[in-house]
Amino acid sequence: MKTAQRPIHSDFGPQTAAAEVAAGHDLSGKIVIVTGGNSGIGLETVRALAGAGAEVVTGARDRQKADKQLSDLERVSFISLDLADPASVHQFAEQFLRRHDRLHILINNAGLFRPPNLLKDKRGYELQFGVNHLGHFQLTGLLWPALKKAGGARVVAVSSTGHRHHGLDLDDINFEKHPYNGMAAYGQSKTAEILFTVQLDKIGQPCNIRAFSLHPGAIETDVFRYMTEDQLQEWKKGVKRFKTPQQGAATTVWCAISGQLDGMGGVYCEDCNIATVSPDDAPPGPRPGVRAYALDPEKAAALWRFSEQATGVHFD
């Protein structure tokens, strides 16, 4: 059943912290993956879910950072993962599946934001699209048997209000027909993450797998490492309120475990609620709501076909 893209009565709000969402949940026996779980909101997501009893596996490129940040957490392990490298994604999935035959929650959290110029992943695609979408598409496909075996699973994609800056142009993913713009490329990759969950939820429902995307809020983390100080200050001018990393992780955790979302899926969320739909011609920038073009089922299906061809991964 398709879930309506409109707010519900949520027990939480924009100032809720991830630990508050997880409070009262017993996730003992649940297996969770969080990509990019060694820093920022990913780390807070790991802390909240492991604190509720889940066994959490996190993947990221920087093992040294992971060892430093995760060493004091119980039920948390690390496997190296570079989403720009299909061989690394394959190795991560192989290692995980050797240890676990099922996966209850997959959180595609890792992301790249506005590198200074056009870079490409090892497949040859624009790097933000490659990391934020294609790497996670491949990973989800490789883990699909474990998600199906869970007997009820959720896939959560951390998108962004940045999707409002650019829709999906499958004819010009690498900006060969138009001048490269880092923010437009970021927006396209985040639109792709939303569209991915729309189609994923559609094909996953018969297996009791539901999918969600979300905007975590404006949070100052090391995702902004490519921005100059002037760019960062200009970006901050448009933000009405910043969240802490703990608050930024709350919507991720809510999408992953909330009973309020049982039987739902394929929706974009923010502030621990399902978001409203904003007009496609509304101004871009850090505003609430999701663009209608990011929910278009035909675009979602077209992106799915493109992603299967680009990654060589076909969901069973």
Label residues 197-224 b or e (16+ Cβ within 10 Å = b).
bbbbbbebbebebbbbbbbbbbbbbebe
Judge whether residue 270 has pLDDT over 90: yes
Report the alpha-carbon distance of residue 9 to residue 272 in Å, rounded.
10
- Band (pLDDT 50/70/90 cuts) for residue 116 is confident
**CATH, residue 47:** 3.40.50.720
User: For residue 232, what pLDDT is reported?
Assistant: 54
pLDDT bracket for residue 165 (50, 70, 90): confident
Residue type, 281: D
Indicate whether 180 belongs to any domain. Answer: yes
Q: Is residue 2 part of a domain?
A: no
pLDDT of residue 252: 98
Write out the residue range of the structural domain in which residue 220 sits: 18-311
Percent of the chain with pLDDT over 70: 91
Contact between 111 and 131 (Cβ < 8 Å): yes
pLDDT digits (tens, 9 = 90+) for 277-312: 987 777 666 678 999 999 999 999 999 999 999 999
- Count of C-beta atoms within a 10 Å radius of residue 315: 18
State residue 240's pLDDT score.
61
> What DSSP letter does each residue of the chain carry, written as one string?
-PPPSS----S--TT--HHHHHTT---TT-EEEEETTTSHHHHHHHHHHHHTT-EEEEEES-HHHHHHHHTT-TTEEEEE--TT-HHHHHHHHHHHHHH-S--SEEEE-------SS--B-TTSSBHHHIIIIIHHHHHHHHTHHHHHHTTSEEEEEE--GGGGG----TT-TT-SSS---HHHHHHHHHHHHHHHHHHHHHHHGGGTEEEEEEE------GGGTTS-HHHHHHHHHT-S----HHHHTHHHHHHHH-GGGTT--SEEEETTEEPPEE-TTS--SS-SSEEGGGG-HHHHHHHHHHHHHHH-----
Residue pair 235/227 in contact (Cβ under 8 Å)? The answer is yes
Where does the pLDDT of residue 269 fall: very low under 50, low under 70, confident under 90, or very high at 90 and above?
very high
Which tokens hold the place of 252?
């991720």
Distance of alpha carbon 165 from alpha carbon 31, whole angstroms: 35
pTM of the model: 0.93
The pLDDT-based confidence of 225 (bands split at 50, 70, 90) is low
Over the stretch 15-73, which tens digit does the pLDDT of each residue have? 999 999 999 999 999 999 999 999 999 999 999 999 999 999 999 987 888 788 888 89
In a domain, 3, yes or no: no
Q: What is the pLDDT of residue 223?
A: 52
Any domain includes 74 = yes
Q: Known catalytic residues?
A: 186
pLDDT band of residue 231 (cuts 50, 70, 90) is low
| Res 207 pLDDT > 70 | yes
Could you tell me if residue 312 is left (phi over 0), alpha (psi between -120 and 50 degrees) or otherwise beta? left
Highest mean pLDDT: which of 56-70, 176-190, 199-213, 235-249? 199-213
Residues 173-194 pLDDT 10s:
999 999 999 989 999 999 999 9
Gyration radius of the chain over CA positions: 18
In a domain, 102, yes or no: yes
**6 in a structural domain:** no
Q: How many domains does the chain have?
A: 1
Q: Tell me, yes or no, whether 9 lies in a domain.
A: no
What single letter denotes the amino acid at residue 267?
Answer: V
End-to-end CA distance of the chain: 20
Whether 227 is in a domain gets the answer yes
With 80 as the cut, is the pLDDT of residue 219 above it? no
